[in-house]
């Protein structure tokens, strides 16, 4: 009798234990599933009809663009046609002509704007494709390489799982995972890469759930859209469409068979097989994948040629050049950087020029913490475009709060105060050295280069941005007379001015936004002056100013106000411009540690270069310098 009672107790305890395990298992499954953001997958299960609003950008007759920049922009645009076909049609129509300096726009026409970026993460590019848009060779090839029983299993492949388990036991560590495509999707979309039992268990639970609630097409569509194909040009390449662009500069439908094998091969480990670091390893993987795809009859026999060593090296060389120039990073930046005053093509061109400039400076100067800031806006309105090359930092703080020495950009304002006190542009001033007696000691201003003549006119001194004539003229007029006039522009002016005369040469720190507003005020006031007394027109001929050696063929005969500035031994470099409509302030300089030596760069070789590149290659005609906007029915009231 006692044995029967004991047996009943054992059965009872076993049942309780089993029930507890079942309850725990159910609770754990519910816990896992409720903490998975399945909305990422439901997006692919819903009946999606992409409504991407198409927009266009106008290229104006008489303008210039660079073919390579236009071609890269076109690759990320909504235009499905090949760039060569677009170009050929425009040449035939006599809308463009290819010249030494670039592509000349003979007749105005429109180009497609950039496609929207579907990846909302920073430094990430993605364009989602419907399953029907994914060439069948890719998803069939993926199944053939990664998961041949994909169409038959329910998220877990027992054979693969058992094989992986045996291997792991033999090795006494996690070597194989036996993962199906569904499991790979779950790991990459919802979980981490850690090799633990708990992570694997979650992966199995979620995979079974997904297979029961989503179709195989949904799973493959999500896989090809969400998998990250590594990183290129500092941008995470998310999805098959982005991978086609970044690795082969093609849309997916134009990828050839061997290129398809390379992309499928990269899925095994985008970093492990990265073409810039592990080309030999990737070559072996691609050959293996391609051979398998041929065996699966996914390619016809006439398309079975593999790449030779020369082709591989050419491809890697092209990728290295793209990595250096970062044209696709510029496309991502353009889409992420908000601001409507410039169109997307203009923003793309400016970022491309910035990439090229900073890349060249880092080669010449070493790995310095260089950056670019800019504001470009409408002189008669409030609309502006603000740019900061370091997207990961706060643009508003960089533009509005971080101050830099303004250098010679102050001189047009200084000369206006001279003219207010009775000086004229034709007055003669000496270029001989001058020394002022200050409480802190003797101070002698220097020049960046030796003046050609012992005496020059004030207008010539302004055009050449000389320092000594500024101090001589200020000393002649009296620092006390100048100070109240300058305080109308600079509320942070140190007083008394006669003890801080270096401020007249730009030893004043201001953030970019303050410099922009300062010049907005200055330009409006100058436009009230008679043309012969207007400083804007005194600095309107680039052949006579500090950029005379930098100005290119297309800019030499244009009329625009511009002023360079270089301060802090090349750590702060400026260019301020006004073309009759747009006012711009561009700064190029060193951020971070400034305790070392100066830099051998100048406003004319950096900031002006960016201005010239943008306004030459943006696909718009150059505006004519004028003050007509300041008067008449459409003008401003001062």
| Conformation bin of residue 326: beta by default, left when phi > 0, alpha when psi is -120 to 50 | left
pLDDT > 80? residue 273: yes
User: Mean per-residue pLDDT for 21-48?
Assistant: 73
Please state, in angstroms and rounded to a whole number, the distance separating the CA atoms of residues 259 and 247.
Answer: 9
Q: What is the pLDDT of residue 377?
A: 95
Domain ranges across the chain: 2-35, 56-112, 366-406+508-638, 411-483
Q: Is the Cα dihedral 515, 520, 521, 524 positive or negative?
A: positive
Q: What is the pLDDT of residue 637?
A: 33
Q: What is the pLDDT of residue 530?
A: 84
Structure tokens at 41: 């997958």
Kind of pairing, strands 124-125 and 235-238?
parallel
Q: What's the pLDDT band for 638 if we cut at 50, 70, 90?
A: very low
Q: What is the pLDDT of residue 636?
A: 37
Q: 307 near 258, Cβ under 8 Å?
A: yes
Please state, in angstroms and rounded to a whole number, the distance separating the CA atoms of residues 20 and 29.
Answer: 14
Q: 342 near 385, Cβ under 8 Å?
A: yes
- Phi/psi at 238 (nearest 5 deg)? -105, 115
Q: 121 near 232, Cβ under 8 Å?
A: no
User: Mean per-residue pLDDT for 250-272?
Assistant: 92
- Of residues 595 and 568, more confidence is placed in 568
Question: Which CATH architecture is the domain 366-406+508-638 placed in?
Answer: 2-Layer Sandwich (3.30)
Q: What is the pLDDT of residue 2?
A: 54
* Percent share of the chain, pLDDT over 90: 65
Q: How does pLDDT run across 399-415, given as a tens digit for each residue?
A: 999 999 999 999 999 99
Q: What is the pLDDT of residue 303?
A: 61
User: Mean per-residue pLDDT for 384-395?
Assistant: 94
User: Mean per-residue pLDDT for 523-533?
Assistant: 90
Q: What is the pLDDT of residue 209?
A: 80
Please state, in angstroms and rounded to a whole number, the distance separating the CA atoms of residues 130 and 346.
Answer: 31
User: Number of helices (H) and strands (E), helices first, in the chain?
Assistant: 23, 19
* 635 preceded by a cis bond (ω within 30 of 0): no
User: Mean per-residue pLDDT for 166-191?
Assistant: 66
Q: Which fold has domain 411-483?
A: Beta-lactamase (3.40.710)
């Amino acid at each position: 009798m006692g044995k029967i009672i004991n047996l009943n107790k054992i059965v009872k305890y076993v049942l309780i234990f089993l029930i507890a395990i079942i309850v725990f298992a159910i609770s754990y499954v519910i816990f896992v599933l409720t903490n998975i953001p399945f909305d990422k997958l439901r997006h692919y299960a819903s009946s999606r009809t992409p409504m991407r609003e198409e927009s266009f950008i106008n290229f104006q007759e008489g303008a210039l663009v660079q073919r390579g920049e236009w071609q890269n922009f076109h690759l990320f645009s909504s235009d499905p046609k090949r760039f060569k076909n677009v170009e050929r049609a425009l040449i035939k129509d006599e809308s463009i002509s290819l010249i030494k300096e670039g592509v000349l726009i003979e007749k105005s026409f429109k180009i497609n704007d950039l496609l929207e970026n579907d990846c909302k993460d920073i430094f990430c590019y993605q364009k989602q494709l419907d399953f029907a848009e994914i060439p069948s060779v890719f998803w069939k090839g993926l199944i053939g390489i990664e998961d041949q029983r994909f169409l038959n299993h329910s998220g877990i492949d027992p054979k693969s799982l058992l094989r992986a388990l045996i291997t792991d036991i033999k090795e006494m560590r996690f070597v194989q995972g036996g993962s199906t495509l569904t499991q790979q999707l779950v790991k990459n979309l919802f979980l981490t890469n850690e090799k633990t039992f708990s992570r694997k268990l979650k992966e199995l639970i979620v995979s079974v759930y997904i297979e029961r609630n989503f179709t195989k097409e949904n799973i493959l569509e999500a896989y090809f859209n969400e998998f990250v194909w590594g990183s290129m040009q500092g941008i995470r390449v998310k999805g098959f469409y982005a991978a086609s662009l970044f690795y082969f500069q093609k849309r997916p439908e134009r990828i050839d068979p061997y290129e398809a094998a390379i992309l499928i091969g990269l899925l095994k480990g985008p970093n492990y097989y990265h073409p810039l670091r592990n080309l030999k390893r990737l070559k072996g993987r691609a050959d293996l994948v391609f051979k398998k795809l041929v065996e699966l009859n996914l390619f016809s026999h006439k398309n079975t040629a593999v790449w030779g060593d020369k082709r591989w090296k050419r491809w890697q060389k092209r990728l290295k050049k793209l990595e250096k120039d970062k044209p696709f990073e510029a496309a991502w930046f353009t889409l992420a950087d908000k601001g409507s005053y410039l169109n997307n093509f203009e923003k793309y061109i400016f970022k491309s020029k910035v990439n090229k400039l900073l890349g060249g400076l880092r080669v010449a100067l070493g790995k310095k913490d260089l950056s670019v800031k800019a504001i470009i806006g409408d002189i008669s309105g409030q609309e502006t475009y603000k740019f900061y090359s370091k997207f990961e930092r706060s643009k508003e703080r960089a533009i509005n709060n971080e101050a830099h020495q303004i250098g010679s950009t102050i001189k047009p304002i200084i000369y206006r105060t001279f003219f207010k006190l009775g000086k004229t542009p034709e007055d003669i001033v000496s270029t001989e050295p001058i020394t002022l007696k200050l409480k802190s000691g003797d101070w002698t201003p220097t020049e960046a280069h030796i003046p050609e003549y012992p005496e020059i006119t004030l207008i010539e001194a302004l055009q050449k941005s000389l320092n000594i004539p500024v101090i001589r003229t200020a000393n002649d007029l009296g620092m006390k007379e100048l100070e109240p006039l300058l305080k109308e522009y600079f509320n942070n002016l140190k007083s008394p001015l006669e003890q801080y005369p270096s401020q007249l040469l730009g030893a004043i720190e201001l953030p970019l936004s303050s410099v922009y507003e300062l010049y907005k005020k200055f330009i409006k006031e100058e436009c009230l002056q008679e043309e012969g007394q207007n400083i804007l027109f005194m600095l309107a001929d680039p052949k006579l100013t500090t950029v005379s050696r930098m100005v290119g063929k297309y800019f030499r005969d244009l009329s625009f106000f511009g002023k360079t500035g270089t301060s802090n031994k090349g750590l702060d470099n400026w260019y301020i411009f006004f073309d009759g409509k747009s006012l711009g302030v561009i700064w190029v300089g060193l951020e971070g540690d400034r305790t070392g030596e100066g830099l051998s760069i100048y406003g004319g070789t950096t900031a002006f270069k960016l201005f010239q590149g943008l306004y030459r290659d943006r696909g718009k005609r150059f505006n004519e310098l004028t003050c007509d906007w300041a008067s008449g029915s459409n003008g401003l009231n001062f």
